[in-house]
Amino acid sequence: MAGSYLDRFALNGRVALVVGAGSGIGEAGAHALADCGAMVVCADANGAAAEATARAIVSAGGKAEGATVDIVDGAGVRALVDGIASKHGGLDAAVTTPSINVRKRMLDYTSPEIDKVLGVNLKGTIHVMQSAGRVMAAQGRGSIVALSSIRSITTEPGQSVYAATKAGTVQLVRTLAAELGPQGVRVNAVAPGAIETPLTAPIKDVPDWYEAYARKSVLGRWGKPEEVASVIAFLVSDAASFITGAVIFADGGWTAADGRFDPKV
């Protein structure tokens, strides 16, 4: 092994794209990759928020630039990715985090609501993976990280379409990992648990709901975006060079125990 183990976590000289960098896990992920040495393109449908994240990184001594992209727009995603590769001489990492949820019972879902959730969470994720994958396959290297969720394997009332998209994301990751492995491209998923982000903000407004989620984690609390961002940075780095097609759960032990009863044994 060339270099130290610490060197394997460094991203110096790497070019990374983080989609969804305007807030939540995407914002934290952009900061994490920049802190590790990468030049980060912070992209988001909210261009002002993406630019704000990029400015914060630069102010902290990192390298970043902002961009506006709607992942539902496949042509727009491809233009962004190709533009990054042309400007910076390649693309070493791509992280896609945007997701939406419509919390309602399956029987009450409308067709437009189904299309909306599928459009962002699955179709949008595919667009990022396709565009980044094409560039990385051509250059013979790269790492793609997509955000799944604990809802990929466990669900609750009101989570039907969201849960389906997160399970689907896992299969997209596994398939692309199998297809691009021979070209030196790694593809992985991170599955967060209860993380305090704009997506989960409505839960915090209901104390009983918020506390129930905290108790479900074996750590007894919610997670923070930076705790997921650290996993993203690891998967992007050479420290994860033999990890592909994997799903890493950052859920505080949510999926490790049922949490319904603590037997006296």
- Average of per-residue pLDDT across 59-84: 98
Which residue in this structure is represented by tokens 């419509």?
Answer: 102
Pairing assessment for the beta strands 93-96 and 63-68 based on DSSP bridges: unpaired
pLDDT of residue 201: 82
In angstroms, what is the C-alpha Rg of the chain? Answer: 18
- State yes or no: pLDDT of 258 exceeds 70: yes
pLDDT at residue 2 in the model: 61
Q: What is the mean pLDDT of residues 122-141?
A: 98
Give me the pLDDT at residue 260, please. Answer: 65
pLDDT greater than 60 at residue 78: yes
8 Å CB contact between 21 and 53: yes
- Dihedral over Cα of 51, 55, 56, 60: its sign: positive
Q: What is the dihedral of CA 25, 146, 202, 216, to 10 degrees?
A: -90
CATH of region 5-247:
3.40.50.720
CA neighbor of 189 nearest in space, from 212, 213, 172: 172
Note if 213 is an active site residue: no
pLDDT bracket for residue 202 (50, 70, 90): confident
Average pLDDT of 24-32?
Answer: 98
Q: Per-domain residue ranges for the chain? A: 5-247
Write the burial class of residue 214 (CB in 10 Å: 0-12 exposed, 13-18 middle, 19+ buried).
middle
Record the pTM. 0.95
Tokens of 157: 């009332």
- Select which of 5, 109, 162, 213 is catalytic: 162
pLDDT above 80 (res 114): yes
* Model confidence band, residue 264 (pLDDT cutoffs 50, 70, 90): confident
Q: What is the DSSP string of 99-142?
A: -----S-GGG--HHHHHHHHIIIIIIHHHHHHHHHHHHHHHT-E
